[in-house]
Amino acid sequence: MYRVCFVCTGNICRSPMAEAVFRAHVRDAGLDGLVEVGSAGTGSWHLGEAEDSRTTAVLREAGYPLSHAARQFEAEWFERYDLIVALDAGHAAELRALARTTDQAARVRLLRSYDPEAEPEDLSVPDPYYGGERGFTACLEMVEAAVPGLLSEVGAALEAREGG
């Protein structure tokens, strides 16, 4: 099993959106049962809450199902997850600060680093929480652009495990 956790601030907008999109791509690639997908926040503000209603609306319109309860990322989770995908540079920095080893810190990646069209100096997915619906749509577009590259890397990691 290869485990991926998406992380944003409160785990109600960006990371659950990335979780839903990636899970659908994993299923479509026939990797269900081989890849576990989750999400969490860096903070505890929304623990146990469902995703933001605007996240639900954008995902539903795009055909992505999601059943979600917000969680907070804990340092012990580095032992559980193979890859921790941060939605912005601030999250990546917070996660790397939580890491206890350089190997754990190296598991933290920015989602947009998997998007070949993303500008290397701007790999953060902006937080749509304080904006309107357009921000959520833009967030989904960024997630969808990055997920194929991420899926390719996860697929290669699974192949390497099988061959190794």
8 is catalytic: yes
Phi, psi of 96 (to 5 degrees): -65, -35
Catalytic pick among 5, 8, 13, 139 = 8
On the 0-12 / 13-18 / 19+ scale of CB atoms within 10 A, 29 is middle
88 is catalytic: no
Catalytic pick among 3, 27, 96, 127 = 127
Closest listed residue to residue 25, CA positions, set 162, 152, 157, 160: 152
Catalytic pick among 5, 13, 14, 112 = 14
Phi, psi of 37 (to 5 degrees): -120, 135
- Which tokens sit at 11? 């785990």
**Kind and range of the H or E element at 105?**
helix 102-106
Q: Angle at Cα 142 formed by Cα 138 and Cα 146, nearest 5°?
A: 170
Closest listed residue to residue 31, CA positions, set 154, 161, 160, 164: 154
27 is catalytic: no
- Which tokens sit at 87? 């939605």
Active centre residues (catalytic)? 8, 14, 127
